[in-house]
Amino acid sequence: MTPRTTVAGVPVDTRHYIDGQRIASARTFADVSPVDGRPLGEIARGTAAEADAAVAAATAAFPGWAATARAERARVLRAIADGVDKRLEDLALVETHDNGALLRSHRRGVMPRVAHNFRFFADRLLSLGQEDFTTRGHTNHVSWDPAGPCALITPWNAPLMLATWKIAPALAAGNTVVLKPAEWSPLTASLLADVAAGAGLPPGVLNVVQGYGSEAGAALAGHPDVRRISFTGSVATARTITAAAAAHLTPTSLELGGKSPLLVFADADLDLAVDLAVEQYDNAGQVCLAATRLLVDERIAQEFTRRFTERAASLVQGDPREESTDIGPVVHARQLARIDGFVRRALASGARAVIGGGPHTALGGLYYRPTLLTDVAQDSEIVQEEVFGPVLTLQTFRTQEEAVALANDTRFGLAATVVTGDRERADRVTAQLVAGTVWVNCFFVRDLRAPFGGSRLSGVGREGGTWSFDFYCDVKNTVTAPGGWRDHG
């Protein structure tokens, strides 16, 4: 196995990173770019042996890192953020080639957010705490103790940003980490290991094990020495992880799929509504939060559809490295086939494609045309199941009550978007929606101080702000009786 590859001129080590060392595996797997189908490298394929070694390294490093003063942990996290800033262009280029998302988005939004994740949780660590309180004269003192080694299993659609959303609070809390990145987009995790080492993070505090979920991921999920598991991905994989974690009652945080609604009322700013709807094609629709179900008041549905069609027609689909591109490829041939299967079955069942409806044959490769389907039944597969591609459905409603009922009528509850010009209506509707996040007249406004997670099959638990520390720590309350102290003077 060649231990390094070069992507867009950037050298990337393709081995695991365990206890501060690069470790090869007996087997590898191919990483292929969705941009042009070119091989990016042969990646070390971890198994239970590598997972065990990484957990052992994290376990050995835990006491020292946990005992490190908060100010020093925060300093190291800020140094990692500085390292991300210095390598922002490298990280953006590699991730675009690895998962096909827009280079301009990586440069302007995603990689700056990666650095912000570390800085935010460094700051949050230093402000973590609450005032003591008394109970019948007894003092209650709440503390957040590091839990131990954490297994973080992350997805391919925003690899580095979503990984650091977990890594940063876990490290800030005083824990050690074993990261298992998605096999379809593992490269920036390897670069992050280099950045962390350069920032002075001690060996064993951050480990990266590459490989398949059924091998490396399964070994981490069922490991008896792992104290926390955080996973972002599919419901099916979450069931496997939680079953393995149950053997040791390992606390698990899950951010899973979505089938989020976008409700457009007749009093809405229609141009805003159309802009928000078209925005759901971002990252070729490979966004868990995407509002893929457009629910539109029947009185404005025809005009909404006309404007939406015109607006969507202006989107530029093509090479994600080009500044003018709005929609790039999907991540993998299996994902393209999955998306197309959903659409074909919907069309066969009577749905109508207003736009799109299949792969972009002129571009070839992994490009799927932005698609809007109408004439879909509420209980149909295309309405009920997550597609995770550039595919939206449009349904109409007559009343506010019907809109809410349609919005809540899935197994998911990750997010929802409401577009209305009536503040009282917004308050009434948002109070009734089942969702972890609700946006009103906006979309994808995220603040790390806010809780994030889903309801129903969209997840278990909340992370962000103090909620992250609540998960990554053993929260302790110490109750002390008044008086009775000996004088040692």
Closest C-alpha to 331, from 8, 5, 7, 35:
35
Torsion sign, CA atoms 149, 197, 161, 70: positive
Q: How many helices (H) and strands (E) does the chain have?
A: 16, 24
Judge contact between 68 and 30, C-beta under 8 A: no
Dist. CA 16–CA 50, nearest whole Å: 8
**For residue 156, what is the DSSP state?**
S
Judge contact between 191 and 94, C-beta under 8 A: yes
Structure tokens at 336: 């393209």
Active site residue 463: no
Residue from 95, 215, 288, 386 carrying the catalytic annotation: 288
| 286: number of Cβ within 10 Å | 24
Whose structure tokens read 């996973």? 231
Residue from 95, 183, 215, 255 carrying the catalytic annotation: 255
Judge contact between 304 and 267, C-beta under 8 A: no
Active site residue 386: no
Dist. CA 220–CA 235, nearest whole Å: 18
Dist. CA 226–CA 361, nearest whole Å: 46
Whose structure tokens read 């609540």? 470
Query: Which residues are known catalytic residues?
Result: 255, 288
